[in-house]
Structure 1
Amino acid sequence: MKQKKFDWGYFLKHIAIIAIPVALQNLLTTTGSMVDTIMLASIGEKAVGAVGLCAQFSSLMFSGYWGFIGGGMLFFAQYWGAKDHDGITRSYGMTLLFMTTVALVFAGLAIGVPSFIMGVYTDKPEIQAIGISYLRIVGFAYPLQVLSMAMSALLRSIERVKIPLYGGIASVIANCFFNYLFIFGKFGLPEMGAAGAAVGTVLAGVVNLLILIGFILHQRIPFVLEFSKHFRWTKESLQNYLIKCFPIICNEVLIGIGNMMINVVLGRQSEQAIAAVAVFRTMEGLVIAFFSGFSNAASILVGKEVGAGNHELAFERAKRLVYLCSAIISIACLTLLLVHNPLLHMLGLSGKSYEIGTGMLIIYSIAAIIRMGNWAQNDTYRSAGDAAFGSIMEITFMYLMVLPFVYLSNFYFHAPFLLVFAFCYIDEPIRYIIMQCHLYSGKWIRPVSDAGLATIDKFRAQHHIEVKRQKQSHNKS
C-alpha cells in the first residue's frame, strides 16, 4: 500500500497557529522579567543576584507542579482528539487539585521561612537579606500563577491559544507598571527596592487570572469553570491519571532538585558570577520562551492524533517536529549571540561579570540546539502516552553524570567557573542519540482514549513494534 504524502502545508500552518501565540506570550513574560532586571540593575548587582536566586526557588516550585501539567496535557490533548469532553473536564479537575496543593506548600515556605530558603541558595549575607524581603511578598503570587498556568495549559490543549496570550500581555504590562511604582516609590508610594518587584509580581498575577476568567466566561468555553464536573472521579480514573503523571512528576521534581543543587554551586561563586548567572537565566528564558511554543505545538499536534487513533500521522509528525524544533532553536540562539553585547550591558553587567555572562551565552547557544531537541522529543513522547522513557533518561544522566561532574570540577578540582558551567550540559549529546533511537522505534505511542486504543494493535503490527503489554483502562479519566 502506497504511503500517503505528508501534508507539509497543513502541518506548518497548524504549528504556526499553536506555536506563535504561545511563543509570543512566553517572550512577553520573559521580556517583563528583563525589564524587572533592568530596573533592579539601577539598585545594584546584589539586588539582581538576590532576585535571580529567588527565581530559582520559583523554578523548583515549577518542577513540583509541572508533572501534573505534563500529565494533564497528555489527557487533554488525547481526549480533545477523541472529542471526549467529560474526560477533559475530569482530567482538568485532577490537575487543578494537585497543582494548587503544590503552590500552597511553596507559598507557605516563601512567606514563612524565607531566611532558610536564602541560606540554601547563597552564603552572602547582603544577598540573603534582599532575597528574604522579596520572598515574603512574592509567595502570595504562587497560587495565582499556578491557577493561571493550569487554565492556560487546558486552553492550549483545546487549541484556544490566543486567550493565554491576551492574559500574558495584560500581565506583563501590569508587572512593568507596578514594578516601576513600587521599586522606585513613584506617585507618593514607598520606595521598596527588590520587595517592590515582588509586589508587582503579585498584582500582575491577579491581572492575568482575571483576564483569563473574563475571556472564558465571555466566550462560554467549557471544561475550565465546570466545577461540579471537575471532581466526578472513580478510583480507576484517578489511578490511571496518577500512573501517567507519576514518571513526569518524578522527572520534574528530581530534575528540579538536581538543578537546585547546581544552583547551590553557582550561588557560591563571586558576586560578579552570581550577577552574571541571574542575567543569564533571564536571557536563557528568552530562548526557552521562544522554543516552548513549538514544543507545545508538538505535544498537541501529536497527542491529538494519537487520541483520535491516527497513529501513522502522529508518527510522521513527530519525526519532522523534532528536527524543525532544532532548526528553530538554532536561529534563536544565533540571534541572541548577535545582540548579546547591548543586552548584557543593559541588564547591568560590566567588567568581569560581563565576561562571565558572554562566556555562559556562548556555551549555552551550542548546547541548546541538542538540549531543545531532547526536550521536544520528551514532550512528544509524553503527549503520546509514554511518560516514562524520557523521564528515566533525564533523571539517570542528571544524577550519574551531570551532578558528579559539576560538583567534582568545582569543589575538588577547583576548575574555572565557565568549565563548571559547561558540565551542566555534558549529558545532552548522549541522551539525544538514545532518544532518537526511541523515536524511530514507535514504541512511545501509547493511547489512553478508546479511539486510540481501538487502532493501536494495527499500527504496531504494521511497523513490527513489540511492546510490553500493559493493563489498559477504558474508563475515561
Structure 2
Amino acid sequence: MKDINNNDVEEKTISYKKDPIRKDVIKIAWPVLIELLLGSLFGMIDMMMLGRIKNQAVAAASVAAVGMTNQPLFIGLSLVQALNVGGTAMIARYYGAKQNERIEIVLKHVMLLSMTMLTIPLSILGLTFTQQIMSLMGAQPDALQVGSNYFKVIMIGFIFQSLNMSVSAALRGIGETKTPMRINLKCNFLNVIGNALLIYGLLGFPELGVTGAGISTALSQVIACILLFRYIVKGKSIIKLNIGNKFKFDKNIMYNLVKIGLPASLEQMVLRTGILLFVRIVAGLGTVIYAAHQIALSILGLSFQPGQAFGIAASSLVGRSLGAKNHEKAEAYAKKTRKIGSLISTFMAIIFFFFGPQLVGLYSTDPLIIDSASGALKIIALVQPFQSSQFILAGALRGAGDTFWPLVATSVGVLLIRVALAYIFVINMGFGLMGAWMAVFIDQLVRWVFVYIRFRTGKWKHVKIR
C-alpha cells in the first residue's frame, strides 16, 4: 500500500514539474513579481530617508511634498501604461503569429503616441503650473516651499520613465521579463545610493534635501532609459529598434492602439477619480483614522503585486496564444495564472488576518491606529482572493485586446459601488473606517463578477485586431 501511495506522489511530482503551462506562467511572472515587490520596497526606503532629515519640520514637509506630487505623477503614468496595454496586446499577437517584422513598427507607434499625446504635454503642464498643481493637491506653504523644485525635476524624469515603460511593455509582450527586471532593479539601487548622497550631502555632495531625491530619481530613469534602448538597438532581443529605418505611419496599428488603449485609459481615469472621492470621504474621519487608513493602503499596495505580476503574464501568454490561433491554450494559460496567483494571495490573506496588529505595529505605536488599521486588514484579507482573480483575469482580457469590459467593471465597482457605499457606511451609518473598507470589499467582489462572467463567455477569444 505504501509503495502505491509513494508511486502516486512521485507521478504527481513529475507531472507538476513537466506541466508546460505552469512552467511558462512561472517563467514570465516571477521576474515581474520580484521587480514590483522590490520596486515597492525601494519606494518605501526613499520615504524613510526623507523622514530622517535632521530638521523635523523639513522632513515632514518633504514627505508631504512627495506624497502630493506623486498623485498627479501617478495619473500621468497610469495613462501612459494604459496606452502600453495596446502595445503589449498587439506585440504578443504578432509574436504568436510569427509576424515579428511588425513588432518594431508597433513599438515606434506606441512611443510616438505616448510622447506627443501624453508625456511631453503633461511634463510642460507640470513645469509651467507647479505651484498651482501642488496647491490643488492640498500642499501647505511649507510643502510648497521645499517641494516645488522636486516636482519640476520629477516631471523631467517622467519623460524618460514613460519611454522605459513603453520598451518594458514591449519586452513583456514577447515574454521577456528578466531584462526589464535586471535593469530596473539596478537603477532603483543606484537611486537609493543617489538619495543618500544628495539628500544628506554625503562624500562632498551638496545637501539638497527633497530636491536631491528628485534629481537622483530622474537620473536613475535616464540610466534605465539608456540601458533599455541600448539593449533593443543592439538587436539582442526579438524586440529591435533600428534607428536608421524611416518611420512609416500605419493606420491599422493606430486603429488597434486606439481601440485597445482608449478603454484602458478611460478605466484608469475612472479608477483615479473614484479613489480621489473615496479618500475625501475617509479623510473626514480625522487625522488619526486617516493615518490608519494610509497604513492599511500601504500594506494593501504590497498585496497588489502578485495579481499585477500574474496579470502581466496572462496578458503576454493569452495574446501569444491567440496570435497563434490556439484558443484552448489561451484559456489554459489564463486559468493557470489565476490559480497560481490565487494561491499566493490566499497565503497573504492568512498573514493579514492573523498578524494584522504586528504588521501595523511596524508603522505606528499608536493603539488607536493599530486597532483601526488591523481591523481594516481583516477585511483586506477577505478581499484578497477576489482582488487577485479580478486582476489576473482582467490581464488576460487585456492581452486578448478586450479592454472594454475591465472598463465597465471598474466604472461600476469603483464609482457606483465603492464611493456610494463608502458614503452610506461612513457618513450615514457611522461605521467609520470599517465601513470604508466594507465598501472596498463589495467593490472588488462586483468587479470580479463582471470580469469573471466576461471571461466565462469566451467572447474575448474572438476579438480581432488589424
What is the match of residue 147 of structure 1?
163
Give the structure 2 partner of residue 88 of structure 1. Answer: 103
How far, CA to CA, are the matches of 1:370 and 1:364 in structure 2?
10
Is the Cα contact below 8 Å between 1:89 and 1:229 reproduced in 2? Answer: no
Instruction: Tell me the amino acid that sits aligned with residue 111 of structure 2.
Output: L
Contact 2:356–2:375 (Cα < 8 Å) also in 1? no
Contact 2:25 2:333 in 1 (8 A): no
In structure 1, list runs of 5 or more residues that go unmatched: 450-472
Letter paired with 1:53: M
- Change in 2 beyond 3 A, CA 1:326/1:405: same
Tell me if structure 1 keeps the 8 A contact 2:413–2:446. Answer: no
* Contact 1:307–1:448 (Cα < 8 Å) also in 2: no
- What are the superposed Cα offsets for residues 415-473 of structure 1, whole Å, 9 maximum, x if unpaired? 52342244234222123233222222211112446xxxxxxxxxxxxxxxxxxxxxxx4
Count of residues in Structure 1 that have an aligned counterpart in Structure 2: 446
- 1:24 aligned onto 2:28: no
Alpha carbons of structure 1 residues 6 and 337: separation in structure 2 relative to 1, 3 Å = closer
3-state SS, counterpart of residue 139 of structure 1: helix
Name the structure 2 match of 1:158: 174
Structure-2 separation of matches of 1:230 and 1:251: 34
Q: Greater helix share, 1 or 2?
A: 2
Matched, 1:437 2:453: yes
Corresponding residue of 1:372: 388
Question: Relative to 1, partners in 2 of residues 1:282 and 1:130: Cα closer, same or farther, differing over 3 Å?
Answer: farther
Matched, 1:292 2:308: yes
Asked if the contact 1:370/1:428 (under 8 Å) is kept, the reply is: yes
1:63 counterpart residue number:
78
Task: State percent identity of aligned pairs.
Answer: 23
Range 80-89 or range 185-194, more displaced:
185-194
Given that 1:121 and 1:267 are in contact with CA atoms closer than 8 Å, whether structure 2 keeps it comes out as no
Cα distance in 2 between the residues matched to 1:160 and 1:11: 16
Counterpart Cα distance in 1 of 2:333 and 2:36: 24
1:455 corresponds to: none
Aligned twin of 2:12: none
Distance 1:138-1:268 versus aligned 2 partners, 3 A rule: farther
Structure 1 contact 103–146 (Cα < 8 Å) conserved:
yes
Select which of 247, 261, 267 maps to 2:277: 261
The C-alpha deviation readout for 1:356-383, integer Å capped at 9, x for no partner, is 4434444333223212211111111121
1:182–1:275: structure 2 CA closer, same or farther, 3 Å change rule? farther
CA 1:273/1:177 → structure 2, altered by over 3 Å: closer, same or farther? farther
Counterpart amino acid of residue 455 in structure 2: L
Asked if 1:209 corresponds to 2:260, the answer is no
C-alpha deviation, 1:179, in angstroms: 1.1
Q: CA RMSD in A?
A: 3.0
Could you tell me how far 1:158 is from its partner in structure 2? 1.5
Aligned to 1:311: 327
The yes-or-no answer on 1:10 pairing with 2:25 is: no
Matched, 1:394 2:410: yes
- Deviation of 1:245 (Å): 2.0
For residues 165-213 of structure 1, give each alpha carbon's deviation from its aligned partner in whole angstroms, at most 9, with x where no partner exists.
Answer: 1111211111111111222222233333333322221122122222222
Q: Normalized against structure 2, the TM-score is what?
A: 0.85
Cα distance in 2 for residues equivalent to 1:314 and 1:122: 46
Which residue pairs with 1:428 in the alignment? 444
Q: Does structure 2 conserve the Cα–Cα contact (< 8 Å) formed by 1:77 and 1:383?
A: yes
Counterpart-to-counterpart distance in 1, 2:246 and 2:79: 21
* Higher normalized contact order (CA 8 Å, seq sep 6+, divided by chain length): 1
